[in-house]
Structure formats: structure tokens, C-alpha cells
Amino acid sequence: MMLAKPKRVKKLARPTRDKFELEEFANTLTEVLEDKVELRLTVWKREDPVRGKVVKMDGNTKLIHIENFTETIKVPFLDILFAQILKAQLI
């Protein structure tokens, strides 16, 4: 009795971005870190956006540390698809 070979499952490839887009993300993250303002990140393979303040950008591990109300989330820089600075509204 011969067993059928299992079919190979294709992994989803991380979206590729050019140098300009990566530089824009880096500039946005640096600005947010310096100004201590909140931002929202759309991250690859994550359903909900990540929202919080950047507390650390680790160059060795290429992880961005985002602190929200209850926890610190570590997001790989290359997994960031979109970054939006959230402006505080003055009343």
C-alpha cells in the first residue's frame, strides 16, 4: 500500500517594499519616538492594528517596542505595512 505524498503548503510571502517606503516608516517611527505621540500600525499577518507609543527601536533585533495601556508589543520592522500618527485633539 502506497501512501500519497502530502501536498506542499505555500507560505505567504511578506510584501516587498522599496527603500523609499522603508525610509518613510523609519522617519515616522523616529518622529513618534522623539515626540512621544501615539500611532497606529498595520502589521503583516495581524488582524487588528497595533496602537500605542513607541518606547524603543532595537537596531540589533530590528524590533519596534510599542507600549499601550496594558502591555508592550514587539513588532518586527519589516512586518509594518502602514504607520499613521494619531494627533491629540485639543478641546
CATH topology of domain 19-86: SH3 type barrels. (2.30.30)
Neighbour order of strands in the sheet with 63-67: 72-76, 63-67, 50-58, 38-43, 80-86
Interatomic CA distance for residues 78 and 35, integer angstroms: 22
Interatomic CA distance for residues 75 and 57, integer angstroms: 10
Hey, what amino acid is at 66?
I
Segment 64-68 shows an average pLDDT of 95
Predicted structure pTM score: 0.78
pLDDT at 90 over 60: no
What digits encode the pLDDT tens for the residues 12-63? Answer: 788 888 999 999 999 999 999 999 999 999 999 999 999 999 999 999 999 9
Domain range list for the chain: 19-86
Instruction: State the residue for C-alpha cell 501512501.
Output: 3
